[in-house]
């Protein structure tokens, strides 16, 4: 089985990340749409979205995405995006406010094995931010670049007095990323069998898919329930 999270062999400059974050502070930060999944303050602003608007923060796989006007003001964020030589879908900044919590949940279409991967680059964080994936603490530091399988249960607690802000990129797997992940120790031919999900994880995946019904989602639910 592949790791639930892994640090990529690349890092980015904290001062440049935070300089461009300051540009984005003047734009509209939108409360996250999964209101049942958090307590406190969880907001986002888009650098790539389906509509091309900064306040369109939805993220669904296999959709068309456009750069927003905000991205044009942020050349370093664009440079980071270009480092990933693959198709990018949603690209956002995610802010978790002080004393706020993202409750344990699962996200669809974020597993490398299923053809997608979500990347996190911390811009503002500290040791009082606790990020768990599959019950394991993921020690993300500013400027580092992390993949995690967010199709597994995950949660975040910000116990600090400052906001935690990450740059996140939703990417589509290709030959370039296969080489990268193979060098990171992943078995790129690994295919997770449905029986490897615990009943708890199956129910969480079904609940997430049921929020946004689709034919593909209905098939996955049927497979999980069979």
Per residue in 121-133, pLDDT (tens digit) is 999 999 999 999 9
Comparing 205 with 25, the larger pLDDT belongs to 25
Instruction: Kindly tell me if the per-residue pLDDT of 200 is higher than 80.
Output: no
Q: Which contiguous run of DSSP H or E holds residue 207? A: helix 199-211
Query: Across-strand partners of 95?
Result: 43, 165
On the question of pLDDT at 223 being above 90, the answer is no
Answer whether residue 189 shows pLDDT above 60.
yes
Q: How far apart are the first and last CA of the chain?
A: 22
Angle of the 215-225 helix axis to the 199-211 helix axis, nearest 10: 160
Q: Does pLDDT of 212 surpass 80? A: no
Among candidate residues 127, 82, 129, 89, the one with its CA nearest the CA of residue 107: 89
Question: pLDDT value at position 26?
Answer: 83
Supply the pLDDT for residue 83. Answer: 98
User: For the whole model, what pTM was predicted?
Assistant: 0.84
Q: How confident is the model at residue 208 (pLDDT cuts 50, 70, 90)?
A: confident
Residue predicted with more confidence, 135 or 200: 135
Task: State what percent of residues in the chain have pLDDT above 70.
Answer: 94
pLDDT greater than 50 at residue 40: yes
Q: Where are the extended beta strands (E) located within the chain?
A: 5-11, 30-31, 38-39, 42-49, 66-67, 88-96, 100-105, 116-124, 129-133, 136-137, 144-148, 154-158, 164-172
- Please identify which residue in the block is written with the tokens 């990417």: 171
* Whether pLDDT at 76 is above 80: yes
């Amino acid at each position: 089985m592949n790791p639930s999270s892994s640090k990529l062999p690349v890092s980015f400059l904290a001062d440049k990340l935070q300089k461009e974050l300051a540009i984005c502070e003047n734009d509209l930060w939108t409360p996250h749409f999964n209101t049942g999944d958090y307590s406190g303050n969880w907001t986002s602003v888009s650098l790539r979205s389906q509509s091309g608007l900064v306040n369109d923060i939805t993220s669904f796989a296999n959709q068309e995405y456009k750069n927003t006007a905000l991205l044009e003001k942020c050349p370093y964020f664009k440079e980071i995006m270009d480092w990933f030589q693959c198709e990018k879908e949603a690209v956002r900044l995610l802010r978790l406010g002080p004393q706020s919590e993202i409750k344990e949940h699962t996200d669809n279409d974020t597993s490398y094995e299923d053809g997608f991967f979500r990347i996190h680059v911390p811009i503002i964080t500290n040791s009082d931010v606790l990020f768990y994936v599959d019950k394991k603490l993921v020690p993300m530091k500013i400027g580092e670049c992390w993949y995690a399988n967010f199709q597994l249960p995950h949660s975040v607690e910000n116990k600090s007095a400052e906001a935690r802000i990450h740059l996140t990129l939703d990417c589509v797997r290709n030959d370039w990323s296969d080489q990268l992940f193979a060098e990171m120790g992943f078995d790129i031919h690994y295919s997770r069998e449905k029986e490897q999900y615990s009943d708890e994880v199956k129910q969480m995946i079904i609940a997430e898919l049921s929020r946004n019904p689709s034919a593909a989602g209905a098939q996955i639910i049927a497979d999980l329930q069979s």
